[in-house]
Amino acid sequence: MSDTLHVLLLEDSVDDAELIVIALREAGFTVQWHRVDTREAYLTHLTSSVDIILADYQLPQFTGLDALQLLQARGLDIPFIIVTGAYEENGLRCMKLGAADYLLKDRLSRLGQAIRHALGERALRREKQAAEEAEREERRFAAALADTAIALNSSLHLEDVLDRVLENVRRVIPHDGVSIMLLEDGIVRTVRHQGTYRQIQGNHSSPALHRLQDMYYYQWMAEMGQTAVVPDTALDPHWRQLTEREWIRSYIGAPIQLHDQCIGFLNLTSATAGFFGQQQAQRLAAFTAQVATALQNARLYTALAHHNEMLEKKVALRTAELRRTLNQVQTILDNSPDPILLVKPDGRIETGNPAFKEVFGYEFSEISQLGLLNLMAPQSADPFMEILADVLSSHERRRLEIVAQNKDGRQLDIDLTLSPVDKDGQEIHLLVCSLRDITALKEVQRMKEAFVSNVSHELRTPISVLLLYHGTLTKRPDKWSELNDKIAREIGRLNLIIEDLLRLSRLDQGQVKLAKKTVDLQQLVTEVVADRQVLAAEKQITLTLAQNPEPALTFGDAGLLEQVLSIILTNALNYTPAHGHIMVGSVAWSASEPVMVGFRVQDDGPGIPLDEQAKLFERFYRGNVGHESAAPGTGLGLAIAQEIITRHDGEIVVDSLPGKGSTFTVWLPIAAGIEPAST
């Protein structure tokens, strides 16, 4: 809710309207209001900027029920409260049809409470809708990425693959223009383009050629192997604003890489500034990884088809040429990114390409001693034997996702394809087994599922409690005073979780811009300690400021650094028992190189076990002390602190033992131009 409450009053009496406004102000609201008494005036002012609608049930031209139905027809989520002088049954009828509340004009003292409750209910609805939409969006993206991977790899013809890239990239990331460029011998060649890229290419039949060294972002992507993001080209110093490209206001590009070598680029543009950000860049990187594999497979297929065609023409006359061709085929297989094995019908491995050694760690001399079953994790042995039997009986290719293990016992998620290639009548003599490592893709999926599970778990408890209280209040309105504080605490807990999640999301996506300046850490510590003295006194904890005569100056965002100190100090106050002691102070110089400065929070609380210290900065993690205590928390505070300090090129060091208290030290680079004191 904004600081000013925007109220739309459906009231034919000016005096009654002013009495309602006075009641709102007495309830603590700053009010901006419009009074309407006709259908036309009501529809004119019925916009999303309205926070609350207060309507008399009976107006000269229409009723409160009419107004409620008009609101619902427009699909606006604005709380609607009946404020009437009589006819209590009409108010109840409106509530059954969707009104948030009703009250009589002689009970306006209850109006503030009714409005706060209605706005709170709307806030919960919107938060739930936002969470559900975020989850749906992630599911749509995962499904789209899986579908596009199948589409891209369903053809081995290079031209088809390029066309399918253009057809499917829009499913993953909306855009105005797209182009595919291939890199060879330092020359970037545009091979496909669509959308507003046609404005650049025009009707030229030959592809656009550029030298890599003349194109800043392409050279950067090729060297770094990372996605380039330009949210607003007008603000980017490296963007060369060519006349024919003035329409481009936002850009992302991803390198197409094979074996750590850049072979091209996939570029997306938009005419809208700020259209692309880190989320779209991450999605484009995942999509481009699929493109790289599809292009490599198409290249391998094209080369293999070319050599097979030559072989068919010359095999009868030139045996030597056949041998060279077979060597070239072997070279292609040797450069395949996926392990490819030649397998006997009983599962014994006859030979394999170098990628098999890279992925599974076995030497070629060991292949003859292996069977495919040796590569399976125990839980995948039975499914593999079933698909092998199916291929041998059906003579058809089959695919299966299994868990394999390499020579060191490390488990890998593998997409296995088994195809019969050497048939003698009805008998199969050899099979080709392709093993594609999808461990990284599965890990991303598991991380997403774990995150959704954690968020759902954290939100479920306060929402369940609020629903319970709401049910109680519905049946027993007289319990309001008893449950009010409890509801406020649960709302605060929900707000804390959501704010922490939003803060982490903004940090992850690079949306938090550091407003850096020279920061005196001793002054920062002094101010924060002074602010926390009252809270420490309430908890019967001695909070001491350690005076440091040496300057501790760094170059950073003062607000974010204060937030880090507040997180660490709040944890110390929450977990230090009554009559305990906390000492906070700046640290002038570290003995390490480069020279660092920082601040330190030391308490004599319960301490942290060594096995928990490595997990302190994981999201949603709370140790045994946190779970056993009644202290509030989401397990996100230290994760936020870690993200902030990492973006300041610093680190957080923890020194703690159970029963001996904890010391958190934050180290930051010393401000430029400051000479360290002698140590």
Q: What is the CA radius of gyration of the chain?
A: 33
Residue 52 β-bridge partners: 7
Q: Which of 99, 125, 151 is the last residue of a domain?
A: 125
Q: What is the pLDDT of residue 50?
A: 92
Residue that the structure tokens 């944890």 belong to: 571
Q: Which domain holds residue 80?
A: 4-125
Q: How far, in Å, CA of 483 to CA of 458, rounded?
A: 21
Torsion of CA 206, 208, 213, 219, to 10 degrees: -120
Residue 651 β-bridge partners: 667
Q: Are 428 and 453 contained in the same domain?
A: no
Q: Residue 519 belongs to what H/E stretch?
A: strand 516-520
CATH label of the domain that carries residue 594 = 3.30.565.10
674 assigned to some structural domain: no
Q: Which of 479, 508, 537 is the last residue of a domain?
A: 508
326 assigned to some structural domain: no
- Residue pair 219/227 in contact (Cβ under 8 Å)? The answer is no
Q: What is the pLDDT of residue 452?
A: 60
Q: What is the pLDDT of residue 109?
A: 86
Q: Are 629 and 549 contained in the same domain?
A: yes
Q: How far, in Å, CA of 53 to CA of 102, rounded?
A: 11
Nearest to 421 by CA among 325, 341, 323, 322: 341
H helical segments located in 153-250: 158-172, 198-201, 216-224
**Backbone φ and ψ of 417, nearest 5°:** -120, 125
678 assigned to some structural domain: no
DSSP state letter for 180: E
Q: How far, in Å, CA of 373 to CA of 382, rounded?
A: 9
Query: Mind giving me the DSSP string for 363-423?
Result: -GGGGGG-BGGGGB-GGGHHHHHHHHHHHHHH---EEEEEEEE-TT--EEEEEEEEEEEEE
Q: Are 565 and 627 contained in the same domain?
A: yes
Torsion of CA 357, 360, 364, 370, to 10 degrees: -160
**Backbone φ and ψ of 483, nearest 5°:** -95, -5
Q: What is the pLDDT of residue 667?
A: 93
The upper half-sphere exposure of residue 565, i.e. CA atoms within 13 Å in the direction of its Cβ, equals 28
Question: Would the pTM count as exceeding 0.75?
Answer: no
364 assigned to some structural domain: yes
Phi-psi domain of 257 (left: phi exceeds 0; alpha: psi -120 through 50; beta: other): beta
Q: How far, in Å, CA of 358 to CA of 226, rounded?
A: 23
Q: How far, in Å, CA of 315 to CA of 322, rounded?
A: 6
Positive or negative, the Cα torsion across 569, 572, 577, 581?
negative
Would strands 581-587 and 596-603 be described as parallel, antiparallel, or unpaired?
antiparallel
CATH label of the domain that carries residue 177 = 3.30.450.40
CATH label of the domain that carries residue 471 = 1.10.287
CATH label of the domain that carries residue 349 = 3.30.450.20
Residue 162 β-bridge partners: none
Q: Are 558 and 603 contained in the same domain?
A: yes
142 assigned to some structural domain: no
Q: Are 113 and 244 contained in the same domain?
A: no
Q: Prior bond to 594 cis, omega within 30?
A: yes
Q: Are 522 and 660 contained in the same domain?
A: yes
Q: Are 390 and 408 contained in the same domain?
A: yes
Q: In the chain, how many domains are there? A: 5
Q: Which of 482, 508, 534 is the last residue of a domain?
A: 508
Q: Are 602 and 616 contained in the same domain?
A: yes
Query: Mind giving me the DSSP string for 243-265?
Result: GGGTT--EEEEEEEEETTEEEEE
275 assigned to some structural domain: yes
Q: Are 275 and 374 contained in the same domain?
A: no
410 assigned to some structural domain: yes
- Residue pair 360/407 in contact (Cβ under 8 Å)? The answer is yes
Nearest to 183 by CA among 266, 109, 248: 266
Mean pLDDT, consecutive 10-residue segments, the chain of 679 residues? 80 88 91 91 90 88 87 90 75 81 86 90 87 76 70 73 82 88 88 68 54 85 91 84 66 89 90 90 85 79 75 65 64 75 84 82 76 84 86 86 85 87 71 84 66 60 71 81 73 67 65 82 90 87 88 87 86 88 85 80 89 78 59 70 87 89 92 57
Q: Are 424 and 374 contained in the same domain?
A: yes
Instruction: Strand 542-546: give its sheet, edge to edge.
Output: 542-546, 581-587, 596-603, 662-669, 651-656
DSSP state letter for 154: T
Within 10 angstroms of residue 487's Cβ, the number of other Cβ atoms is: 18
Q: What is the pLDDT of residue 287?
A: 84
| CA distance readout (Å), 566 to 449, 572, 657 | 31, 10, 22
Q: What is the pLDDT of residue 422?
A: 59
Q: How far, in Å, CA of 598 to CA of 383, rounded?
A: 56
Straight-line distance from the first to the last Cα atom of the chain, in angstroms, rounded to the nearest whole number? 53
CATH label of the domain that carries residue 75 = 3.40.50.2300
Q: How far, in Å, CA of 10 to CA of 35, rounded?
A: 6
679 assigned to some structural domain: no
> E-strand spans in 44-171?
52-55, 80-84, 101-104
Q: How far, in Å, CA of 192 to CA of 158, rounded?
A: 12
Q: Are 478 and 544 contained in the same domain?
A: no
DSSP state letter for 548: -
Q: How far, in Å, CA of 198 to CA of 179, rounded?
A: 9
Q: Are 562 and 590 contained in the same domain?
A: yes
